[in-house]
A = this chain, B = another copy of it.
């Protein structure tokens, strides 16, 4: 948890540096809001929540007996667990339109649920960390999101490559190849390029009835190579016949122009095989992979011009990306990027020698907390060995031993768990000792390290 909080804290910090505000939405959404937004496969993966009370009420026995599972599910379940944070965001924007200041820059860090088979990099409950701008068509938003990506992964220490594409370019490719009416089949197949390779993707297209001539016209697009400059130059010629394709090209060229100004272009790649399965993307699409570890996309997103349209509010453009916290966690584990650290947040443990000694220590512990330290009094008057073992296993760096005699003599024994050294101090000297032994300055003062 401390490690996961490190990831959450990092993304939140970067999001807020760019002016994104936090929101949260309920775990359950109406199934009418969720269904049909994630494709057929997505509908199957939605967790449906049984209506409370008598969920069979109003259903006649025959319709229950003869029901198909899917049809019955919708009759007895009104709500489902959110599948991602984007559809709830769209619902939120439509519902709160009047109060929102646009462009609406928001971030959301919450779990989502998918009824998938659990496997490496895939969980049934996992956190998404989404950051979106709603109500601004400017490509500078895309540029800013790439900056956010670089800042987050730089802070986390993960080397990444960011791949960009544009759905309008893909639409252009489909159009000039003669597959314009098969755009969804095309993107779904393309999305598997990474896993299956080009030949399998072509086979899939053929199996869906795409003609060989069309498939052979797709080939040159997937053979493009070189820098994004070179790719854009070649695409300009190849897409001359598609207005939409040309628009997509201009957009991606504009984004790369700004990325070059910011010195980020050499860590970004224009990848025409990047499709992203979700139907709602209409412009730029973005995907991030970690270098040096086998793991799917750890961050991805894009522009969706029509998302709120399905909720009756067309014309509101949005762009956003989503960080997969659990996959990022796994990547950081694989690459051993988490700092070696003891597991405890506690700075000091007071050993418990009995009720009256503990009362004395509780008072002292309170003083330590006032000074900004995390302090525990061992709750039971257990054997000293057991209490020291607790301090050791918990990674607590400083232990105080204050028995009846010591208290009477106005002293406590302070032990460093790291060096094993002990010293006798007056209780009033404890804060200073703690500052020295933990390297943390007391609250309300500056760090001794900084001062020197």
Residues of A within 8 A of B (CB): 1-2, 4-5, 16-19, 21-24, 26-28, 44-45, 47-50, 52-57, 61-62, 64-67, 69, 72-73, 76-77, 81, 101-103, 105, 111, 113, 115, 124-125, 133, 136-138, 140-141, 143-144, 147, 151, 254, 258, 261-262, 343-346, 349, 352, 355, 358-359, 362-363, 366, 369, 373-381, 390, 393-394, 396, 446, 450
Contact = CB atoms under 8 A, between A and B. Distances in A.
Nearest to A143: B362
Contacts of A16: 345, 374
Interface-central residue, A258, A373, A374, by most chain B CB under 10 Å: A374
B21 A1 contact: yes
A136 B346 CA distance: 18
19 contacts: A17-B375, A18-B369, A19-B396, A21-B345, A27-B27, A44-B52, A47-B50, A49-B49, A49-B50, A52-B115, A53-B115, A62-B65, A64-B64, A65-B65, A138-B352, A140-B358, A258-B362, A262-B366, A446-B450
- Assembly stoichiometry (copies): 2
Nearest to A45: B52
Contact of A19 (B69, B144, B376): B376
Contact of A377 (B48, B65, B111, B140): B140
Nearest to A151: B369
A341 to B, nearest CB: 13
10 tightest Cβ-Cβ pairs between the two chains A and B: A52-B115, A19-B376, A138-B379, A19-B346, A48-B50, A65-B65, A1-B22, A136-B379, A138-B380, A61-B65
A335 to B, nearest CB: 23
A130 B64 CA distance: 41
B2 A21 contact: yes
A369 B19 CA distance: 10
B366 A147 contact: yes
Given A2-B21, A5-B22, A27 B363 contact: no
Given A17-B375, A376-B19, A26 B125 contact: yes
B19 A344 contact: yes
Contacts of A141: 379
A47 B49 contact: yes
Contacts of A81: 27, 49
Given A27-B111, A55-B69, A136-B380, A21 B343 contact: yes
Nearest to A137: B380
A434 B144 CA distance: 22
Nearest to A136: B379
Nearest to A79: B47
Contacts of A143: 362
Nearest to A48: B50
Nearest to A348: B19
A384 B191 CA distance: 42
A18 B65 contact: no
A379 B133 contact: yes
B21 A359 contact: no
Nearest to A47: B49
Nearest to A361: B140
Given A140-B379, A346-B19, A50 B77 contact: yes
A27 B140 contact: no
A23 B1 contact: yes
Contacts of A1: 21-24
Contacts of A359: 258, 261
A358 B136 CA distance: 15
Nearest to A347: B19
Contacts of A144: 362, 377, 379
B45 A73 contact: no
B261 A363 contact: yes
A4 B47 CA distance: 27
